[in-house]
Structure 1
């Protein structure tokens, strides 16, 4: 309950979360996610679709038959590999690259085994060279995108912000790709569209946070009362609720497509697109807040002016502690001197033997005895 109360207060903006001050926590979480994702890429690997590795695709309607019957009808005609997917009321079967004669034989066997007219079986043959060209174009687009992002952020902000944003983007790509590897989802052109979308989304979130940090930290001087880290954390806290709300609103419809559209309607293409969007949006929101911002702060804290600011604040704090300690020590001495004087409870002025009493004599003009008039002195 206490945790829920704290989260609720942070969400309402009543308190600020110390995100910048705990980089080791966030880096540890990111490290675990990256290890998990890289392991998936190395062990499972990405399941590239026919558009990338080449092959033959057969699409036909036979809703009354099972997956085993559909796979048997395709492999029975000479195809060695058959990936069967349900897309609504239709079946989509992907095989290795087949010749024209083999494609015709597969169509005839499907018509015979599944009672589907041969002219209702749609075929598509993708060459391996075309798939390789698609992969090459995709990598080129990614490199150009990264270069443009670095150039834009370096001009609009500075190179440290550009570096932090690019690190967050690579972080998002690797983790999303790792989830794809472990899930076994097919990588299709729709997947690439999803990847490009999450890159833009993650970048948007990072730019919003960086712009607020730039505005809040701009007035800082060596005589300021807060460090760059504290100012950046204040800026991040002020945009935290906005980032969470934006992400939540964007993730909900994507989750509906992924979990409802694919399970109830069997939308294969939407499944490939929605998984990359769903994972990428969650990871992108996390990285822009918990990875890019702490990394930016660590880079900025190395600048000479912010190093001097931190040293000045440390000296002021040490001086204030010394003054407080001296004042406390002086008060303790006064209390000790007051305790040395015994209390005369009897009121007779007697003091125990061997005890020295310090008497305080009130300073002021000395009182002289009154002298009489000249006539009175003569009479004496």
Structure 2
């Protein structure tokens, strides 16, 4: 058992070093390359068309990409043959003739409406998205400060930051479009990662109180062993669902699915490694959760 515990501690520390290295690389990617902001934030043109229901989104996408020399988002509008096309404003500042571009696919094409989303609207969405992220982080910090002693809470906070930064670093490195759906995935991952970290931290607190003579390394390993099956089952079933969404959801949900998939994996990893190693570094022990004696001195 001792060898198993010792090896588990070494693996936790090793994966924590890997997590820190990935965070540094991700921050570098964000600083050097930046995020490829989507039309939700930069503004663009939205066109709704009605076409032959036999024409697929892939045909529309390839035709639009070839004509406009840019990535075009093709979204089904709910009715057969009805599509919403989203693309950036061309450099000349004029909306392209969509009917002319898509005429080779369907001569009976109907352009139902076209609207331009200006950069002012995009900036407002960016501000609101950033505000939502900030409020979420503040609420999480407030909850953790109430629920756990600061040494134990620090692991959950660092694990949370690790997951968010890694997702942003991945999108910066790949230059995939960062839009509102990806931002929604980041907010969802914050909640998922926090839940995973709290499960383990709560178990650590219970073991610290029940077995005060154990070292913090043994306490952490015992807490991980007690929650490991639950963590794997939860993460595994969620990954299956997100994987199906990734494969079958199409282009509009690709960014969301990828962000969720990466976030679930890193959230599980960081909750086990970073979330337990940092309290060790700060010297967490059972005395921090023992009741304080009450003196009668004034």
For normalisation by structure 1, the TM-score amounts to: 0.64
The worse-fitting range, judged by mean Cα deviation, of 23-32 and 151-160 is 23-32
Aligned to 2:177: 186
Q: 1:32 aligns with which of 21, 25, 34?
A: 21
Distance in 1, Cα, partners of 2:225 & 2:70:
52
Shift of 1:48: 1.3
Shift of 1:24: 3.7
1:58/1:123 contact within 8 Å kept? yes
Q: 1:48 aligns with which of 20, 37, 40?
A: 37
Shift of 1:56: 1.1
Distance in 1, Cα, partners of 2:61 & 2:102:
16
Distance in 2, Cα, partners of 1:182 & 1:116:
41
Distance in 2, Cα, partners of 1:102 & 1:202:
44
1:161/1:296 contact within 8 Å kept? yes
Aligned to 1:296: 279
Aligned to 2:89: 96
Distance in 2, Cα, partners of 1:118 & 1:140:
41
Aligned to 2:227: 239
Q: After superposition, what is the alpha-carbon deviation per residue over 1:204-260, rounded to whole angstroms, capped at 9, x for unaligned? A: 000100111111101455xx3x212212221121111211111001111111211x2
2:164/2:186 contact within 8 Å kept? yes
Distance in 1, Cα, partners of 2:171 & 2:138:
25
Shift of 1:191: 0.9
Distance in 1, Cα, partners of 2:35 & 2:87:
16
1:56/1:97 contact within 8 Å kept? no
- Which has the bigger relative contact order, CA under 8 A and spacing at least 6? 2
1:283 aligned onto 2:263:
no
Shift of 1:273: 1.4
1:19/1:290 contact within 8 Å kept? no
Cα RMSD for the two superposed structures: 3.1
1:161 aligned onto 2:144:
no
SS in 2 for 1:102: coil
Q: After superposition, what is the alpha-carbon deviation per residue over 1:95-152, rounded to whole angstroms, capped at 9, x for unaligned? A: 22789x933x523533556545463355332110111111111111111111111111
Closer, same or farther in 2 for the Cα pair 1:113/1:154, shift >3 Å? same
Gaps of 5+ in 2: 289-298
Q: After superposition, what is the alpha-carbon deviation per residue over 1:11-65, rounded to whole angstroms, capped at 9, x for unaligned? A: xxxx768434555412221133224423432444322111101111335455495
1:209 aligned onto 2:200:
yes
Distance in 1, Cα, partners of 2:122 & 2:60:
30
Closer, same or farther in 2 for the Cα pair 1:123/1:242, shift >3 Å? same
SS in 2 for 1:190: helix
Alignment of 1:250-329 (within 5 A): 250-258=238-246, 260-262=247-249, 267-301=250-284, 305=287
Alignment coverage as a number of residue pairs: 276
Distance in 2, Cα, partners of 1:18 & 1:237:
13
For normalisation by structure 2, the TM-score amounts to: 0.80
SS in 2 for 1:82: coil
Alignment of 1:78-97 (within 5 A): 82-85=70-73, 87=75, 92-96=85-89
Larger Rg: 1
Distance in 1, Cα, partners of 2:123 & 2:73:
23
Q: After superposition, what is the alpha-carbon deviation per residue over 1:55-88, rounded to whole angstroms, capped at 9, x for unaligned? A: 1133545549575643454x4xxxxx63234557
Alignment of 1:141-152 (within 5 A): 141-152=132-143
1:70 aligned onto 2:67:
no
Gaps of 5+ in 1: 1-9, 76-80, 307-380
Q: After superposition, what is the alpha-carbon deviation per residue over 1:141-183, rounded to whole angstroms, capped at 9, x for unaligned? A: 1111111111111112222232221111110011111222233
